[in-house]
Structure 1
Amino acid sequence: MSGPRYPGPEDRTMEIRGLGNGADGPSIVVAGGGSAGHIEPALAVADAIRRLVPSATVTALGTEKGLDTQLIPARGYKLELIPPVPLPRKPSGDLLKLPGRVRGAVSRVREVLDQVHADVVVGFGGFVSLPAYLGARGRVPVVVHEANARAGLANKVGARFAAAVGVAVEGTGLAHEQVVGMPLRRSITGLDRAALRGEARRHFGLPPGGPVLLVFGGSQGARTLNTAVADALPALVHAGVAVLHAHGRSGTPAPPMPGYRPLPYIDRMDLAYAAADVVLGRSGMTTVAELTAVGLPAVYVPLPHGNGEQALNCGPVVEAGGGRLVPDDELTGDRALSELMPLLTDPSRALDMGRRARAAGHGDADERMARIVLDVIGR
C-alpha cells in the first residue's frame, strides 16, 4: 500500500510563501517535553522545518521538570514553561487532582499560542502534549507524532481531533496514522561511519582494526546486558573482538581486559556508531531508529517491562533481516556469543544485515514529518 506523496524541495519552495499568521513566516509550537525520548524527535522536526522554511518560528513547550530546560535552549529554541501535568498510570489520589492541573496548564498553553500567533501545534506525547492538544483545540490545528508501537494516553486524546497523525511504526491504533518513522538528528541520519571510523576508535581508545561490539542499554544501563557481557567477554577478547560497553551510571562493568572499554555513559553516540560493527542493546524506538538510520546490525533485547512495546518496535527490522531478537530472560553469556559471533567474525554477513537494517528504517522521518506540518498550515 503506497503512502501519500511528499513534495520535494522544489514543490515546497512554491507552496510555503505566505504561510502562517506571522509577518515573517509560519509559527509552529512543538510539545515534546519531559524525557529525551519526547524532546529529541520534537527538536529534530523543528530543525527540519527551519531548513525547509528559514523564516519559520518554532517555540517549544516544556516544564521545569525533566530535561526541557537543559536540552531545548541548548538547541537554540525558545522554551515556554507550562505547569506539569503528570498522568497517573493507576487510580490514586493524584487522579482527583488531574482536572485542576489540566485547566491551569491549558490556560497557560493558550496564552503562549496567542503570544506567538501560532499556526499549528505539533505534539510528541508525554505530559506536556496533553494540555497542548487541549489548549489548541478549536483554535489552531494539531499534528501528532507517536514514537512507540503502542500509543500513549496524550496522543490517543490528541489524535481524535488532529489534522494529521504521523507514527514511527504501523499499528499504533491511532486513527488516520501515516508511517513516517522516528525523527532523528541530522548528526545521526547523515553519519558517514566509514569516514569517521578511525577518529571514532581513537576517541574511545579502541584498536584501529578488527571487529568492535557496541553494548548499551540506556542511560541507566541494563543489568541483563551487563551480566551477559561479563560472561561472554573472555571469549570475545580471545576471538579478537573489542567491546565498547556503556554499562550505565548505576551499572557494573565487567572486569578489566585488553580491548574492553567500559564507560558509564556515551555522550558521542555518533562516534560510537562509527566505531562499531555490531550492536547489542535494548529496543527503544530511538535506538531502533538510529541503528537502522546508520545501517548497523543489532541483537535486540527488548525491555521486559511495560506493555511489550519494545519487542514491537524492533519487529519490522527483525522481520526484514536487519537484526535479531532475544527475550530478556533468555540472554546469557552463551546466548550472546551464539548470536553475536557469526556477525563479528564474518564481515560480509554483518554488512548484509546492516544493509537490511537501513532499508527497514526511515532516515528521512524528520523532513517527512516537517512537510506534513507545513502541509497542514498550507490548508
Structure 2
Amino acid sequence: MTSILLAGGGTTGHISPMLAIGRELRETHPDWDVFALGTADGLEADIVPKAGFELLTIDKVPMPRSIGPAALKFPKRFAANVSHVKQIIAERDVRAVVGVGGYVCPPAFIAAKQAKIPLIVHEANAKPGMANRLGAALTKQGMVGVTFPDTKLRNSTLVGMPMPTEISALDRSDPVQRQDWRADLGLNDDRPVLVVTGGSSGAQRINDAFLAAAAQCQESGVQVLHITGAGKDEVLRAAAAQLPDYHVVDYVDGMHRAYGVADLLVARSGAATVSEATVVGVPALYVPLAIGNGEQRLNAAGSVSAGASLLVDNADFVPSTVTDQILPLVTDHTRLDAMSRAALDLHYPTEAATTMAAIVTHALRG
C-alpha cells in the first residue's frame, strides 16, 4: 500500500489546506494510506482525527529566537524529532511527505530528504514562513505550490489555496440557496448581513470594537452574524441579548454558509480567509493580525489593490470604524457589487487541492 505523510499544524491556516489535500488524495487514490503528523498540543490534535485522518505526533520544538536554555537544548531535541519521523517513514513505508508549515515540518522535511523520498510543499501565506523556506530549498522545481501570485519561494508554482469544494464551488448569486442558509443561521431575509469573524481563535480587537458598537448595528437596520471564536462569546452574547438582529456564535459549522449569506465580511486576513472570500466574491474589510512576519497584511494586498476589499490596521480598528465605515458600506449595494466583481475578476485558482494531489502523484511516478 502506498503511504503518504501529511505534515503540518498549529493553526487552522495550516490544517485546513492540509486536510483538503488529504481528502483529494484519498478520493483520487482510495487504496492509499494517507495520514498526518502534528503535535499533541496543537489544534490538529482535535481537528485532524475529527476529519477522519490518523494523527501521529512528535514533540513541539520551536526554533529558538535568542540565546538561552532553550537554544542549548534545541539541537538534541530537534535531532530526536528527525529520528522519530525517519522511524515513521521506515515503519509505515511512506512514499512521500507533503508539508504545509508549522513546527512539525522542519524535522519532517529533513527526514524525507534523508530517506530520499519525494518532498512536496504548500505555502499558504504571501510571505513564506521559515519551515516552508527550508522545505522549498530541500526539494526541486514544481514540487512547491503557493497560494498567491506574488509569493517568492524557491521551486514554486502558483496553485492557489486548497479549500473545501463547498467553498470553491459556491454560487452566491443563487437567491434560493442564500435564503435557505439565512434561515439555517437564524437570519432574516430582508436586511443586509454583516458577517464578523476573527477565525478559529477569535480576534479580541474586533470583538471589543463591535461590543461597543452593537447597539448602533441594531439601529442601522443591519443584521450581524458575529463569530467570536471558541470561548470568547460570553460578554458579547450578554450585550446582544436584547438586540434581535445581532447574532453571536462562537463557531459556524460550514463557513461556506457564512460566505453565502454575507453582504460584507469583516475578518482577519489569514491566507485561507482571503483566498476563500476572493474565490466566492465576498466583499471584505480585513484587519490583519499584527504579529508574525507581516504575512497577513501581504495576504490581503492583492485583493485590496484590486478594489475587492479594504484594510484597516489592527491598532486603528475601533468602535468608530464600525459606525462610520462599516455600517455605511454594508448598505451601499452599488459599491458592494463592484467589490464582489473585482474579487471574482482576480480569478484566484479554485482547484488547488486537485493540483497538489496531482503533484504528489507525478512525484511518485517520476
* Alignment TM-score, normalising by the size of structure 1: 0.86
Counterpart residue number, 2:245: 259
Decide which of 181, 185, 189 is 2:164's aligned counterpart. Answer: 185
Counterpart residue number, 1:9: none
In the alignment, is the contact (CA less than 8 A) between 2:139 and 2:155 conserved in 1?
Answer: no
CA distance in structure 2 between the partners assigned to 1:123 and 1:350 by the alignment: 37
Counterpart residue number, 2:84: 108
SS in 2 for 1:91: coil
Counterpart residue number, 1:207: 188
1:309: Cα distance to partner? Answer: 1.3
SS in 1 for 2:310: strand
Structure 2 residue 320 is matched with structure 1 residue 344:
no
Structure 2 residue 31 is matched with structure 1 residue 55:
yes
CA distance in structure 1 between the partners assigned to 2:92 and 2:171 by the alignment: 38
In the alignment, is the contact (CA less than 8 A) between 2:147 and 2:158 conserved in 1?
Answer: yes
Counterpart residue number, 2:198: 217
CA distance in structure 1 between the partners assigned to 2:324 and 2:356 by the alignment: 39
Amino acid across the alignment from 2:228: H
Number of equivalences? 355
Decide which of 330, 333, 342 is 1:356's aligned counterpart. Answer: 342
SS in 1 for 2:94: coil
What are the equivalent positions in structure 2 for 1:91-106 lying under 5 Å apart?
Answer: 91-106=67-82
Change (3 A) 1:34 1:227: closer
CA distance in structure 2 between the partners assigned to 1:258 and 1:218 by the alignment: 24
Identity of aligned residues (%): 40
Moved more, 310-319 or 197-206: 197-206
Amino acid across the alignment from 1:180: V
1:231: Cα distance to partner? Answer: 4.3
- Listed as ranges, the gaps of 5+ residues in structure 2 are none
CA distance in structure 2 between the partners assigned to 1:130 and 1:282 by the alignment: 27
SS in 2 for 1:169: coil
SS in 1 for 2:257: helix
Decide which of 198, 203, 227 is 1:246's aligned counterpart. Answer: 227
Decide which of 27, 38, 53 is 1:77's aligned counterpart. Answer: 53
Counterpart residue number, 1:17: none
Counterpart residue number, 1:40: 16
Could you list the per-position Cα deviations for residues 308-349 of structure 1 after superposition, in whole angstroms to 9, with x for gaps in the alignment?
211101101111221111122222333334433454223343
Decide which of 135, 140, 155 is 2:111's aligned counterpart. Answer: 135
1:168: Cα distance to partner? Answer: 1.6
